[in-house]
Amino acid sequence: MIKAGIVGATGYAGAELVRLLYAHPEAEVRAVSSVSFEGQKLSDVYPAYSSLNDMVCENQNTVVETCDVVFAALPHGLSQELAAQCMVAGKAFIDLGADFRLESEDAYTEWYGGTFLDKELHAQSVYGLPELFRDTIKGKKLIANPGCYTTCSPLAIAPAIINGLVSTKGIICDCKSGVTGAGRKPAQGSHFPELNEGFHAYKVASHRHTPEIEQTLSRLSGERVTVTFVPHLLPVNRGILATVYADIKDGVTFEKIREAYEVCYGDEFFVRLLGDGKCADIHNVRYSNFCDISLHFDKRAGKLIACAAIDNMVKGAAGQAIQNMNIIFGLDEKTGLVIVPPAF
């Protein structure tokens, strides 16, 4: 059994790792840590885990010493020293935070206000979006696990970008997220009376996931890509719907675009390409590691409209992290992640 440890186990992403790993046939949670709840049982923080996981939250050193793989579900700026500790100890490290996602230190400083504490360590890290960069993940031990928006948006448009079917200029990523994406710490914007029966954009043209989306699309296209990214907050717990707009190049048919998506995602278990006339819906991916994609053609405007739906806590966080763990340890990627979304 793979011995897994979770640093930051009492946040939403950490708690989701506990839930998913409980059913994993080849891995088990051996240690958890939490600064806020150190010394307390995980099941006291989340009563849903009572009798299933009654582990006491310890310090992160115990997690590193005890486990083969360490998942870090921490705010940005807190993972770099822990990653270095894991590398010295020969442990795999999967970071669900932002510390290793950006290749450019200048971009990290601009968007997160931090620096690369160890440039050689950053050079060892790989970006863990399996459907697009699987071959770079194999054999590695330091994985930057993408976030929710930065998983959903690129998956929506990637085949069209890879095959040069749409312009890389003027791409718009219009996204809606459930409130769990804001984290567990209470805030005015996620307070029930403020959120319920409302719907609004936030951090318009200034969200920290913008450079990460651009980095992925630039890597796929081979040229610098700039996007307009606007996130919105939905009054629901889970889910992200990304609607991505791109101009179709002259002479490219919608049939050719659909064919490109079928080729790119035909063997991908976790990407479900929907038929013509259907629309991706967060309802249909809840609690699962699936990404549903629907394609739409605005003939009048000459635009591709690609919609992608994921559960932000699973494919957008914990599930994808486990998918990366499976790759690192040579398991089938689906191991422990074949979860049927509830139908209603």
Residues identified as active-site = 148
Element holding 261 (H helix, E strand) = helix 254-265
Sequence-distant (≥ 6) Cβ neighbours of residue 224 within 8 angstroms: 214, 218
Q: Are β-strands 69-72 and 2-7 bridged in parallel, bridged antiparallel, or unpaired?
A: parallel
**Tokens (6 digits) for 120:** 């050689």
**Tokens (6 digits) for 55:** 């582990």
Question: From the CB of residue 258, how many other CB atoms can be counted at a distance below 10 Å?
Answer: 16
Residue 125 contacts residue 109 (beta carbons within 8 Å): no
Residue 318 contacts residue 13 (beta carbons within 8 Å): yes
Rounded to whole angstroms, what are the CA distances from 60 to 74, 195, 322?
Answer: 12, 34, 19
Residue 274 contacts residue 137 (beta carbons within 8 Å): no
Residue 92 contacts residue 69 (beta carbons within 8 Å): yes
